Structure 1
Amino acid sequence: MKNLGNLMKQAQQMQQKMTEMQAKLAETEVTGSAGGGMVQVTLNGKGDMKKIVLEAQAVDPEDKETLEDLILAAHNDAKQKAEAMMAAEMQKVTGGLSLPPGLKLPF
């Protein structure tokens, strides 16, 4: 029974660390870019878009498709960076504990 008590205590500590990590990530911002920096998209750690920056030369009324593609690429770049940051933080919380494939912890 003592081992079960220790396991429960460790689970509670991990849950607290996860909550703290989620709060930290919500405040962290990551910027992705495309077109050599002509388009930048900033997301917070939860994936919410916080800001878009467009350089004047990226805005061509005759070629809106390119701008749309650049925005998508910048968003995907920021999302990839945010996911990498989240994975690194998760490693810190779980201490390298490998979770089974498909098991996602709530964010």
Structure 2
Amino acid sequence: MKNLGEMMKQVQAMQSRMAEAQAKLEQATVTGQAGGGLVKLTMSGKGAMTRLDIDPSLLKPEEKDILEDLIVAAHSDAKNKSETMMAEEMKSLTGGLPLPPGLKLPF
């Protein structure tokens, strides 16, 4: 039972670190871009879009389809960066705890 008690202590410590990590991620931001920087999208570490910057040269009716594609691409870029940031944070949190591979804890 000693191992179970030690594991419970580790789980409690990890829960505390996860709460801190969640607060940190809410404050962090990532910026994705597309079209060589013509469209930039900023997201919080938790995935909420906080800013969209569109170069004025794209604000032409004939550029509508291109602009829409660039917004989607910028969002994808920012989302990938956000997921990488979250994965790195989780890696640092669970380093000492033996968790099964592929287990995703709630964030």
TM-score when scaled to structure 1?
Answer: 0.92
Q: CA RMSD in A?
A: 1.4
Establish whether residue 52 from structure 1 lines up as the match of residue 52 from structure 2.
yes
Partner AA of 1:35 in structure 2: G
Give the alignment of 1:14-53 within 5 angstroms: 14-53=14-53
Aligned pairs, how many?
Answer: 106
Percent identity of equivalent pairs: 57
- After superposing on structure 2, the runs of 4+ consecutive aligned residues of structure 1 that deviate more than 6 Å are none
TM-score when scaled to structure 2?
Answer: 0.92
Residue aligning to 1:100: 101
Shift of 1:3: 1.9
Query: Bigger CA drift: 69-78 or 89-98?
Result: 89-98
Shift of 1:100: 3.1
Shift of 1:98: 5.2
Shift of 1:91: 0.7
Gaps of 5+ in 2: none
